[in-house]
Amino acid sequence: MGTRLAVVTGASTGIGRQLALEFARHGFDLVACADDDALDAAVAEFDALGRQVWSVRDDLATYSGIMELADRVDALDRPVDVLVLNAGVGTGGAFAGDTSLHDQLRVVDLNVAGTVHLAKRLLPAMVERGSGRLVVVSSTVAGLPGPYQATYNASKAFVSSFAAALAEELRGTGVSVTTVLPGVTDTEFFARAGLRDTKIGALSFKDDPARVARQTYAAVTAGRAQVVTGPLYNRLFVLAGRLLPDRLLARVHRTFSALDSAGSPVIG
């Protein structure tokens, strides 16, 4: 059997970079895709592990970016053993306020449309072959309406539902689907989304992305349909999202996601 291949999107920083490292450490060659200057440094780190790495710098929020990545993967003429759909972006602020339509739609284009498009391009070959693993990185906020992160939380609700549906569709095909639900994690997400001055952005107990990656790899290897990474309170958070009414969940979320809330009391 040849060396296995993992395709990882959003591989330049944060959880995606750690996921790529985790798969490389376990003997996978990589196709690493991102659209920022950090990709070169990440690829150098992957190369140092002695794996073959193909770097693809594309904007997966665009149709042409997805097509370019899919064509690059097809040109390798190698089966994709693991497809990690991790690329995502957020934007903070009031939807009807000063946030731009461009930024709001980019969340949808990358997190939702990009996930669906790339899965549609690469997943059928895995099913035809009868083997492979699809990994969809969602979030513990997938079950929570998110004031001041309205499109981001909604996008994660979409990808969670999408992945769960695919898992059932693909049952018995030899292709597994794992949905990953990380909690608040110490990545560049909060700075990029403009959420540094929020309570959620200022939390001191963010999870380690390397731990998220290790727990994800173990769940994917075991063929689990879902993994909530991090400490126990993340699983309680997900449970609350399933049991409590949306109106209450939105009120609580607002306390943590309102801009300039970092220094204010939790209850007010």
- Active-site residue, from 148, 152, 217, 233: 152
Bridge-based pairing state of the strands 175-181 and 53-57:
unpaired
Q: What is the DSSP letter of 204?
A: S
d(C-alpha 112, C-alpha 100), whole Å: 18
Q: Is 152 exposed, middle or buried (0-12, 13-18, 19+ CB in 10 A)?
A: buried
Q: Output the six-digit token pair for 76.
A: 């390798």
Is the CB of residue 79 less than 8 Å from the CB of residue 5?
Answer: yes
Is the CB of residue 92 less than 8 Å from the CB of residue 257?
Answer: yes
Beta strands in the chain (DSSP E): 5-9, 29-34, 53-57, 82-85, 132-137, 175-181, 226-228
Is the CB of residue 160 less than 8 Å from the CB of residue 142?
Answer: yes
d(C-alpha 230, C-alpha 195), whole Å: 21
* Residue type at 46 in one-letter notation: F
233 catalytic? Reply is no
Termini Cα distance of the chain? 60
Catalytic residues: 152
